[in-house]
């Protein structure tokens, strides 16, 4: 079939009875390599292709997808969508005004499956460099996505994206006590770019954290000053702030930030940005999964709430423009409001000065997982690597610490912001979908926060 004319005809049929329509065409290849217990556990190459069809009518979304590229099957999806929308109004015929194709910067080198397995095996073997190592899991994944989106507002866009991730989990045991260490790296780039990032640090750091926690004392419990290192990753900004600034939550009574545009919601030292245009970051792309160009959106500026993150649906509901935050896991899912690369912007303080300003407290090098209530902002986060601070000096490591607090309250109280910036990566889950993201922050001083410990 003629792909261009056929899909244009399909979109025309969808748009006739809707306020907006789009077609999302995806071809993806997943390469996965997993080492468990020092042995190659599995390697997989999975190909997945399909088409997602969407109508927005009267602020409601009607969505269908098919793994078939057969004309009859696609037309059946179109008929079902048009029937569900129950509309008799007919729009003017749309016209395609912009056709663009984007492609990530490819490597000049090629690695076959065997050479990739050898590289990952080397990473895995480093984690076995201690007699206390009991279990190691090393995972590599490369995702090559080819996406085409045709929209009723006149765009026919294509992009080729290549995401790689590598993470290692190490469990060490001593005298019957088990401790875990974890590290990950990755982004929007090729396999050889991953190798340039010194992949051995993944297993080295994971092993170091597990061994360190075997010897560390338990973290003291109570209220204290906490310094979050720039290496801690942006768990705080992503979980405690970012989700609350997604328009589907912020405009539906599910966010502590609802109806606060223009109000002071953080310290004047705090600026929060969501930026999908950053080169090579895990949450980056050329355009989002609705065909809206990647953007840099200032959410909080010098403590004042400036904007929410919008997809097309919530932009239509709120009579504003999408900020390019419409994302989906694959063609099987409708797009929803999601973060990309979310960060607290660097400030003016020297990180060493921030540490030396603390008489007694906790220095967090690496954050772990946690939970947050977006309605009121309360959170609990794990600390994977932490140290006591005494008299302005970093002292002995501690284990099993948690940070317990309220996101908006903590954002108001941060009084020192470093001039550095460190990134973390992850897969953000929401409404049953997972999308690649990164988050970042400079070194931050929280004057007082509850630390869970012993």
Specify the pLDDT at position 193: 85
How many angstroms separate the CA atoms of 30 and 25, rounded? 17
| Inter-helix orientation angle 200-215/113-126, to 10° | 20
* DSSP state, residue 349: B
Pair 272, 384 in one domain: yes
Pair 358, 255 in one domain: yes
Residue 319, classed as helix, strand or coil, is coil
Strand order in the sheet with 304-305: 304-305, 296-301, 272-275, 341-344, 433-441, 422-430
Name the residue range of residue 121's domain.
3-215
Pair 177, 231 in one domain: no
Pair 165, 248 in one domain: no
Residue ending a domain, choose from 215, 246, 273: 215
How many angstroms separate the CA atoms of 226 and 354, rounded? 10
Pair 311, 198 in one domain: no
Residue ending a domain, choose from 159, 181, 215: 215
Pair 185, 332 in one domain: no
**Number of structural domains, the chain?**
2
Q: In DSSP terms, which residues pair with 364 in a beta bridge?
A: 228, 386
Pair 306, 395 in one domain: yes
How many angstroms separate the CA atoms of 143 and 32, rounded? 9
In angstroms, the Cα distances linking 444 to 136, 234, 363, 440 are 32, 11, 10, 11
Residue 95 has pLDDT above 90, yes or no: no
Residue 356 has pLDDT above 60, yes or no: yes
Give the CATH number, domain containing residue 125: 3.30.2290.10
Q: In DSSP terms, which residues pair with 141 in a beta bridge?
A: 32, 165
Pair 244, 186 in one domain: no
Mean pLDDT for the chain overall: 93
Residue ending a domain, choose from 215, 246, 266: 215
Pair 187, 257 in one domain: no
Query: Which tokens sit at 97?
Result: 């005004």
pLDDT per position as a tens digit, 287-301:
999 999 999 999 999
Query: For 59, left (φ over 0), alpha (ψ -120 to 50), or beta?
Result: left
The pTM assigned to this predicted structure is 0.94
How many angstroms separate the CA atoms of 339 and 272, rounded? 12
Pair 330, 181 in one domain: no
pLDDT per position as a tens digit, 340-349:
999 999 999 9
pLDDT band at 1 (very low <50, low <70, confident <90, very high): very low
Q: What is the mean pLDDT of residues 354-359?
A: 97
Pair 191, 225 in one domain: no
Specify the pLDDT at position 93: 60
How many angstroms separate the CA atoms of 438 and 55, rounded? 30
Pair 10, 121 in one domain: yes
């Amino acid at each position: 079939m003629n792909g261009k004319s056929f899909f244009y005809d399909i979109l025309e049929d969808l748009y006739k009875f809707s306020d907006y329509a789009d077609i999302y065409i995806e071809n993806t290849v997943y390469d996965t390599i997993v080492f468990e217990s020092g042995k190659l556990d599995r390697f997989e190459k999975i190909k997945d292709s399909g088409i997602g069809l969407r109508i927005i009518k009267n602020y409601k979304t009607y969505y269908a997808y098919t793994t078939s590229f057969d004309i009859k099957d696609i037309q059946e999806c179109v008929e079902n969508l048009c029937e569900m929308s129950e509309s008799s109004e007919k729009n003017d015929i749309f016209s395609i005004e912009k056709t663009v194709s984007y492609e990530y910067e490819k490597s000049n080198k090629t690695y076959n499956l065997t050479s990739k397995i050898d590289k990952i095996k080397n990473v895995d073997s480093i984690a076995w460099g201690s007699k206390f190592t009991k279990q190691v899991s090393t995972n590599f994944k490369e995702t090559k996505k080819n996406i085409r989106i045709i929209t009723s507002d006149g765009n026919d866009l294509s992009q080729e994206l290549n995401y790689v991730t590598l993470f290692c989990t190490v469990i060490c045991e001593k005298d019957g006590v088990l401790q875990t260490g974890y590290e990950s790296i990755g982004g929007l780039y090729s396999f050889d770019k991953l190798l340039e990032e010194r992949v051995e640090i993944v297993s080295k750091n994971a092993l170091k954290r597990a061994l360190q926690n075997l010897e560390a004392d338990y973290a003291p419990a109570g209220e204290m000053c906490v310094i979050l290192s720039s290496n801690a990753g942006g768990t705080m900004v992503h979980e405690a702030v970012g989700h609350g600034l997604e328009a589907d939550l912020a405009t539906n009574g599910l966010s502590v930030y609802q109806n606060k545009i223009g109000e002071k919601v953080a310290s004047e030292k705090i600026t929060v940005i969501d930026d999908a245009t950053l080169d090579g970051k895990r949450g980056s792309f050329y355009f989002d999964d609705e065909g809206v160009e990647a953007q840099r959106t200032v959410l909080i500026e010098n403590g004042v709430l400036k904007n929410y993150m919008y997809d097309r649906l919530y932009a239509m509901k709120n009579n504003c423009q999408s900020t390019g935050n419409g994302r989906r896991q694959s063609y099987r899912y409708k797009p929803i409001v999601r973060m990309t690369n979310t960060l607290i912007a660097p400030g003016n303080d020297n990180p060493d000065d921030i540490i030396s300003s603390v008489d007694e407290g906790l220095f967090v090098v690496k954050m772990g997982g946690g939970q947050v209530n977006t309605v009121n902002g309360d959170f609990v986060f794990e600390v994977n690597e932490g140290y006591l601070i005494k008299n302005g000096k970093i002292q002995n490591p501690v284990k099993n610490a948690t940070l317990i607090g309220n996101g908006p309250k903590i954002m108001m109280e941060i009084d020192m912001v470093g001039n550095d910036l460190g990134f973390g990566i992850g897969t953000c889950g929401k409404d049953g979908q997972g999308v690649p993201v990164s988050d970042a922050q400079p070194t931050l001083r929280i004057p007082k926060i509850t630390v869970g410990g012993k």
